[in-house]
Amino acid sequence: MQPTHFTSQFISLNFLFILLWFVSCTEKETIHNTSNCNHTDIIDSIYREDTQRLLFMEIYADSMHEDRNQPFFDEGKVNLILNAFQAVYYLDIPERDSIVEKYNIHVFPWLGMQSISLQVDTAALEVMKLIQEKPTGNAKLDIIIHEYNFTDVQPSLYYPEFNWITITAEQPLNLLPIMEELASLPVFYQVGLGGGAVGDGNTIELSQDGLVLKLDFSIGWGDCPSGCLYRKHWIFVVDDQCNATFLHTY
């Protein structure tokens, strides 16, 4: 028996409903909205340091950055990025599992955020006291050490012949303005970032257009101590309503 026109329409409508249902389900797998756009404590513990690294890299690369002279990271900007990590973390798709579970991707720590290396005048009294982790008597130096919680001071292995020391803070900081303050003291001949990693590896990159954030998670391999020869990327976008979308991989 030949199908009637009504039967054909019924089959077509059923097919359309099935197609729409499939598309709807697919979108739900690739987009997630956090109702109040606030990250959880779990995300804070996993990605806060990554967020601070991303901000520090942005500041480091831009000599005119609005936060260039702010030692402490802007919590509003930190929270915005953490919320984006939260939205990506909530996705229920294989690509999310790859970056979170399989490869556990974080920002490559090529810039240190807690340590400063100082070439010092070994005969200066305040340097001697600094190495002993005592008040130095230099008001400006003592304020810097106290205000930014530099709680560890280590001379170099061959000190004083190799006249370098490293001071380390308890928390990540934008070290650039602190380094400028230290460089103004005559007992320090050279000042530089300490504690960064060499080479290359897995990392996360951030780009931002207003409140829309793009997170580029990648793994690297092939002679990474000299700079990875190969890299695979997973690209996610999070809009101003915390809708996370996986764009593509390459």
Positive or negative: CA dihedral 7, 12, 16, 21: positive
Count of residues making up the chain: 250
Nearest to 153 by CA among 167, 143, 141, 163: 167
pLDDT (tens digit, 9 = 90+) per residue, 164-183?
A: 999 999 999 999 999 999 99
Nearest to 185 by CA among 114, 115, 118: 118
Q: What pLDDT does 5 receive?
A: 52
Q: What pLDDT does 37 receive?
A: 78
Strand order in the sheet with 31-33: 31-33, 243-249, 230-238, 212-221, 203-209
Cis peptide before 225 (omega within 30 of 0): no
Over the chain, what is the mean pLDDT?
89
pLDDT (tens digit, 9 = 90+) per residue, 119-150?
A: 999 999 999 999 999 999 999 999 999 999 99
pLDDT (tens digit, 9 = 90+) per residue, 1-54?
A: 454 554 445 444 454 444 444 433 434 444 445 445 789 999 999 999 999 999
Check whether 221 has a pLDDT greater than 90. yes
DSSP 98: I
Nearest to 212 by CA among 245, 172, 168: 245
Q: What pLDDT does 4 receive?
A: 52
Q: What pLDDT does 20 receive?
A: 41
Q: What pLDDT does 121 receive?
A: 98
Q: What is the mean pLDDT of residues 94-115?
A: 97
Strands (E), the chain: 31-33, 115-120, 150-155, 164-169, 188-194, 203-209, 212-221, 230-238, 243-249
